Amino acid sequence: GEDVEQSLFLSVREGDSSVINCTYTDSSSTYLYWYKQEPGAGLQLLTYIFSNMDMKQDQRLTVLLNKKDKHLSLRIADTQTGDSAIYFCAESKSGNTGKLIFGQGTTLQVKP
């Protein structure tokens, strides 16, 4: 079946690294995404990874994928107060990328 799970809350100090974790159950998932949602706003696509990749780096963001354990993580280096938001993990399948299955979201609190 389709299920994506995330821890609900993470608190870090400004300047530290943040690691947000996600697990998924559908082994046929092809794309895995990280979205950011700030209060009162829609979803902003941060990055995505194709399921045949292990890692993707984009400036301060590093995505790690362990396909065997169906585990995805997002590392934010040098976390800033502006990174405070809800982060959603999502999955989709090739040829069906219009349907995203989301996790419940992780609230990241960055303390100054």
Partner 1 sequence: KAGVTQTPRYLIKTRGQQVTLSCSPISGHRSVSWYQQTPGQGLQFLFEYFSETQRNKGNFPGRFSGRQFSNSRSEMNVSTLELGDSALYLCASSLSQEYNEQFFGPGTRLTVL
> Which is nearer to partner 1, 90 or 110 (by Cβ)?
90
3-class SS of residue 54? coil
Tell me which residue has tokens 């799970």: 5
> Which is nearer to partner 1, 95 or 112 (by Cβ)?
95
Helix H or strand E encompassing 104: none
Minimum CB separation from partner 1 for residue 13, in Å?
28
* Cβ(100)–Cβ(81) below 8 Å: no
> Which is nearer to partner 1, 70 or 105 (by Cβ)?
105
Minimum CB separation from partner 1 for residue 71, in Å?
20
